[in-house]
Structure 1
Amino acid sequence: MQHLPKRIKIIWWQITAFNLFLWLVLIAGIIIAHHFWNWLPLWLLYFVGAGMVVEIVTEIILIPYRYAIYEYEVRDTDVEIRHGYFFRHHVAIPIARVQNVDLHQGPLLRLQKLYKVKIATGGSTHEIEALDHEEALRLKEQVMALALEARNAF
């Protein structure tokens, strides 16, 4: 089983920082609404602040664990993906059912030169969160070649 590139941790840190920003905007809105219009109770501020602390601390603590348990492997018969810390997901995608492999790159992935790999079957789509460009291309070519070979075998 292979792990994601270590640079994915930077993206997860950036997402956590953005979530913190959103929480702080919400808290500022509650403070402004309470101060100027006095229509939101002050206890709501404490409740939201506690929620923010719990979520951000949990996300920060779980980043190394999330990285350690996210694995994938391409075999002759299937593509296996394992991830999830509270609810574990272990997916085996049969090669014969693979219809398409797409590479996607959003702004955060682009900054780290990583690609999200989406493997589409007839009924669903499965993702590998981030791979280096060379590894993503190699995986795409390998999976599509195995899928074409499996289709030709029937």
Structure 2
Amino acid sequence: MQNLPPRVKKVWFLSTMVQLLILIIIAGGYVWLTNNVSWAPKWGLSVIGFIIVVIIGFELALIPYRYRFHQFAVNETEVEIKNGFFFRSHVSIPIARVQNVDINQGPLLRTQKLFEVDIATGGSTHSIDGLNRNDADRVKERVMQLALEAKNAQ
């Protein structure tokens, strides 16, 4: 099994900061609500603040563990993707079922020059997030080559 590049931790950190920004905007909306309507309780902001601290603290604390449990492997018969710390998942995608492989890059991945490889089958799409450009190209080419060979063998 192969680990993701360490730079993916920065992407996860940035993602948590975006979540924090959204939660702060929600808290700001609640402050506006308490100032403009009489039925909104003032103590609600304390509850929202506590929830924000717990969620963001939990997300930040789990980044090293999340990194440790994200792995993938490509072999002749399947693509394996393992992830999750509390709720672990181990997905095995048979090579013969692969229909398409795409490489994508969102704004947070772009900040670290990382890419996401999406492997599509008939029923679903599975992602390997946070690969270097060379690794993403290599995974895509390898999976597509193996999928073509498997389809030709049938």
TM-score, with normalisation over the residues of structure 1? 0.95
Offset of residue 19 of structure 1: 1.2
Pick 1 or 2: higher relative contact order, CA cutoff 8 A, min separation 6: 2
CA offsets 1:49-83 (integer angstroms, 9 cap, x no match): 11101100000100000000000000110000000
* Long gaps (5+) in structure 2: none
Instruction: Name the SS for the 2:150 alignment partner.
Output: helix
Counterpart residue number, 2:143: 143
Letter in 2 for 1:118: D
Offset of residue 37 of structure 1: 3.4
Instruction: Name the SS for the 1:42 alignment partner.
Output: coil
Counterpart residue number, 1:25: 25
> For the residues of structure 1 that align with 2:129 and 2:38, how far apart are their CA atoms?
44
* Long gaps (5+) in structure 1: none
Instruction: Name the SS for the 2:65 alignment partner.
Output: helix
Asked whether 1:65 is paired with 2:72, we answer no
Asked whether 1:14 is paired with 2:1, we answer no
Bigger drift between 89-98 and 18-27 goes to 18-27
Q: CA RMSD in A?
A: 1.1
* 1:79-118 to 2 correspondences below 5 Å: 79-118=79-118
Offset of residue 31 of structure 1: 2.0
Letter in 2 for 1:43: W
> For the residues of structure 1 that align with 2:48 and 2:16, how far apart are their CA atoms?
16
> For the residues of structure 1 that align with 2:46 and 2:147, how far apart are their CA atoms?
54
Identical positions, percent: 51
Bigger drift between 20-29 and 126-135 goes to 20-29
Bigger drift between 114-123 and 19-28 goes to 19-28
Runs (4+) off by over 2 Å: 35-39
Counterpart residue number, 1:42: 42
CA offsets 1:92-150 (integer angstroms, 9 cap, x no match): 00011111100011111112111110001111111001210000001100011011111
Letter in 1 for 2:118: K
CA offsets 1:10-58 (integer angstroms, 9 cap, x no match): 1111111111112222222222322343331112112111110110000
> For the residues of structure 1 that align with 2:19 and 2:122, how far apart are their CA atoms?
34
> For the residues of structure 1 that align with 2:143 and 2:30, how far apart are their CA atoms?
50
Instruction: Name the SS for the 1:30 alignment partner.
Output: helix
Contact 1:65 1:85 in 2 (8 A): yes
Instruction: Name the SS for the 2:99 alignment partner.
Output: strand
Count of equivalent residues: 154
> For the residues of structure 2 that align with 1:36 and 1:149, how far apart are their CA atoms?
66
Counterpart residue number, 1:134: 134
> For the residues of structure 1 that align with 2:67 and 2:10, how far apart are their CA atoms?
11
